[in-house]
Amino acid sequence: MWVWPLQRHQIVFGLLILGFVILAARAFYVQVVWSDFLETEGNKRQVRALDVPAPRGHILDRHGSVLALSTPLASIWVDPKIFSQYPEAIRKLARELGQSEADLLQSINSNSNRRFLFIKRSILPQSAAQIESLGLPGVYAKAEYKRYYPSADTTAHLVGYTDIDDKGQDGIEYIYDGWLSGQAGRQQIIKDLEGRVVKFVKNIQVAEPGKDLILSIDKDLQYFAQRALKEARVKHQADSASLVILDAKTGEVLALVNEPGFNPNNRAQIKGEAIRNRAIATLIEPGSTIKPFILAKALEYELIKSDESINTSPGYINVQGHMISDAVNYGHLTAGEVIQKSSNVGIANVARRLKPEQQWELFRQLGFAQDLGLFLPGESMGYLRHHTEWMLVDQVSSSFGYGFNINLMQLAHAYTVFANEGRLLPLSLLKIDQVPESKQVVSPQAAKQVLAMLESVTHRGGTGTEARIEGYRVAGKTGTVHKTKAGQYQQNEYAAMFVGMVPASRPDMIMAVIVDKPSRGIYGGGSVAAPIFQEVMRHALRLRNVDPDGAL
């Protein structure tokens, strides 16, 4: 049977119909079957999740003054794989950043296989926006925050600092990093082929700023303490100096200063010994500042009476072949005069009435060679041998502060005993609203008796007269110790100390200060450290509106 051949227009029409069918099938396949896959692939190329940085919380002093805050900045980064292909973009970016084109090109070439490279950190947001507006391929800006410390070196050792990525590295910034750190947010955005943000889609997670922290310290008190410490260090040509002030009734740390110091806003200074928090990191033999505790425990055990006459003649004694001596032969002294004159022989005679375990237990109860509970980085707890390892000379020498070591904060902490009728307060770096629980270390009666003796130290005939403050009764104790080197005491190297309380009738503050290696011929605690106490406490009493109690 013969079939009429198809006409040309029928063939063309058939092909068009077939084409439409294929296109329809393809459209169905793309829009329905492949839609999820293609949308995902498209999003991979255009939709991005952008991290939104969150600022750290403020660090404030007890009165609300800002000690640390986060300032918004930006950083410029590039995708070397893309950026390296555009020489003109490299020239423009180098010019905008004030960098050498050759140095920038070298940095890009040496990281050509990377997809992320910081070019400049911590620039002003306006500058970053200006660079972004140039539309340079492979060049991007990243919002960041940088920590700023308004008080600079005044509070550096206590507040600490963060690294370039805003993570706490030392001090309060480190131990409370989790509290201060914010929760970064995330935004969904659309970028064009050049990597520029062209549309904001939605917030995936809202950025949450870090929480603020209120410290116990007083910024103004820190300032006066640092100024006095710096002047004294220069005056006496000392290696270093440290100072701690505590609230006598709450155990709050009101000030902590070390000299030399550093400015945490200048990263070039954050290195070496400058950042060492000597008040808690440097171990010292506390010297004569320990004598009041020995006497208090002896009074508590009724091993001595406050008006008892103690024979110190002829000004020295020999204990197991070791000579223990006073500056002069004081003859017969009362217990109070032993403290006032700071007699080594007198306190040695008192210590021998205590059992070694009693004296050792006293030191342990005072917190010596134990953690302070502040968790500050770099803290050294000290060393105290067990009493079973002591010989008589060890017990005697420890009664005037030799043969064991502690840090300055531990020494200041121990003196809360005399301000609180024999009770030792826990310490706090945070502002607190109520008096914490304390533990009884010596009896209230013994603590009161020794507090009166400590007041006599600043009276005529005492070793701490230069700590006196007009209108106020001052109680305190001087200390002067020989420095050690290679296990040997150095005859011409000293550390000068003073620990005091004011006003003595109702102690409000306790201050411990040490000046290490004064080298201008004056080295005693009474002549080097006591004047620092007097200078700082004059301002502290005014700042805290403490009423005079009438100096005797």
Catalytic (active-site) positions: 288
Whether the CB-CB separation of 179 and 210 falls below 8 Å is answered with yes
Q: Which residues of 49-75 are buried (b: 16+ CB within 10 A; e: fewer)?
A: ebeebbbbbbbbbbeebebbbbeebbb
Question: What is the bridge-based pairing of β-strands 59-60 and 213-214?
Answer: parallel
How many CB atoms within 10 Å of residue 515? Answer: 27
Q: Enumerate the H helices of 420-513 as residue ranges.
A: 444-456
Whats the size of the chain, residue-wise? 552
Helix (H) or strand (E) holding 483: strand 475-485
420 CB neighbour count, 10 Å cutoff: 20
Residue type, position 8, single letter: R
From CA 39, how far away is CA 161, in angstroms rounded? 46
Tokens of 227: 């100024």
Q: CA 423, CA 446: separation in Å to the nearest integer? A: 11
Secondary structure of 96-157 as H, E, C letters: HHCCCHHHHHHHHHHCCCCCCEEEEEEECHHHHHHHHHCCCCCEEEEEEEEEECCCHHHCHH
d(CA 495, CA 107): 51
CB neighbours (10 Å) of residue 130? Answer: 13
d(CA 531, CA 228): 9
Q: CA-CA distance, 289 to 480, in Å (whole number)?
A: 9
Distance CA 410, CA 381 (A): 8
The answer to whether the beta carbons of residues 426 and 436 sit under 8 Å apart is yes
- For residue 447, the 8-state DSSP code is H
